Amino acid sequence: MPDVARAAGVSVMTVSYTYNRPDRVAPATREKVLQAAAELGYAGPDAAARNLRRGRTGNLGVVLGERLTYAFADPQATAFLAGIAEVCTEHGLGLTLIPVTGSGDDSDETRVREAAVDGFVVWTTVDEDPVLAAVAASARPAVVHGGPQVEGLGLVTIDNRAAAAAIGAVGLRGSRRPAVLSFPVDRRREPALVTGPDPAAAAFPVTRDRLAGYRDAVAAAGLDWAGVPVAVLARNDPAEAAQALRRLPTDTDAVLAMGDELALAALRATTRKVPEELAVTGWDDTPAAAGAGLTTVGQSLQDQGRRCARLLVGDPPGAEPSWVVVERSTTR
């Protein structure tokens, strides 16, 4: 930089402003500095060093409590990340994925603390996750998607309980023996087949609220939640969902699935007439759901990802996340 300053006949500060604060340099002077830099083969100050001085990295981080491959394999995760990426592109920002494992040691918190990002979007996690404390303690802006609500952090979510009650009301028409295909209830991710579980015991807010909404729908249909089988899955995995369907009682006549991938797996695995013998509902309204005629909850994870990122960069976030019941041919 001093060599450029000498060649251009200006101060080192003027060269610095030319690259870092061009609005503070006269056009003619800026052109003279850039010409001298080109002649000397100087490409400008190192971006990492510049960001360090500014206290910025130019990156947003997404804290993902799933296997890293989940971000590329799950349709809704990819849609969510696409929404964040759109805002990053608009603002010239990078996007960093920060996978956390829930291993119980402090490696997750360390990964968050050491992340070279200017703010965090946290994919839905469990209550009291230590990662949330690490994010809050970082003093960087952060938004949690799906919950839990954390003081000082933003939250982007829909009313999962109300949506579950609404889709449940549709799925339970004419049903006497319903069942649920559920997301994990805690970070242990242990698959299980339980009957009438207490929704409040689920550590994942999304799972908890959807179970509560399904319970509301079961009660409204005049059925007993205590007798409803709930297949808790380790992950949002179609193969696991197909196996879980086969473990349900043979007289099950309705399946309420917490995700379209699970519902579509149930449709592929069943040998019964749909919806006459088995009604099936999903969640998310993916393109595959529309193609299969699946009744589902429509929501836009891409819009929600976009909203998370806008909150971080200070843009107007737009409308609150919404949902709608989309009735098709898999319900009565």
8 Å CB contact between 76 and 111: no
**Residues found in the chain:** 332
* Contact between residue 193 and residue 231 where contact means Cβ atoms under 8 Å apart: yes
The CATH H-level superfamily of 160-298 is Response regulator (3.40.50.2300)
Task: Specify the pLDDT at position 70.
Answer: 87
Give 74 or 217, the one with higher predicted confidence: 217
DSSP state of 10: S
User: Pairing between strand 229-232 and 178-182?
Assistant: parallel
How much is the pLDDT for 102?
Answer: 76
The predicted pLDDT at position 271 comes to 96
Pick the CATH number of 2-45 from 3.10.50, 1.10.260, 2.60.40, 3.30.1490: 1.10.260
**157-215: pLDDT as tens digits:** 999 999 999 999 999 999 999 999 999 999 999 999 999 999 999 999 999 999 999 99
The residues, any chain, with a CB within 8 Å of residue 180's CB and separated by 6 or more, are 211, 214, 228, 229, 230, 231, 255, 256, 257, 258
Task: Report the chain's C-alpha Rg in angstroms.
Answer: 25
User: In this predicted structure, what is the pLDDT of residue 48?
Assistant: 47
Structure tokens at 219: 């009660």
- CA dist 6 and 266 (Å) reads 73
| Ranges 39-43, 90-94, 148-152, 313-317: which has the least confidence | 39-43
pTM for the complete prediction? 0.85
pLDDT of residue 45: 64
* Mean predicted lDDT score pLDDT of the chain: 93
Q: Which of 66-70, 218-222, 233-237, 322-326 has the lowest mean pLDDT?
A: 66-70
Contact of 284 with 262, CB cutoff 8 Å: no
User: Where does the chain hold its CATH 3.40.50.2300 domain(s)?
Assistant: 59-156, 160-298
Q: Are 36 and 18 in contact (CB under 8 A)?
A: no
Q: Is pLDDT larger for residue 94 or for residue 107? A: 94
Q: What is the mean pLDDT of residues 228-256?
A: 97
| pLDDT tens sequence across 5-44 | 899 998 877 887 787 677 778 999 989 988 998 888 887 7
Please report where in the chains the tokens 């179609």 appear, as a residue.
Answer: 238
**Tell me, what DSSP letter sits at residue 145?**
E
Give the pLDDT confidence of 286-310 residue by residue, as tens digits: 999 999 999 999 999 999 999 999 9
Query: In the CATH scheme, what is the homologous superfamily, with its name and number, of domain 59-156?
Result: Response regulator (3.40.50.2300)
State whether residue 193 is helix, strand or coil: strand
CATH 1.10.260 domain range(s) in the chain: 2-45
Q: What value does the mean pLDDT take over residues 105-131?
A: 93
Q: What percent of the chain is helix, strand and coil (3-state, nearest 5)?
A: 45, 15, 40
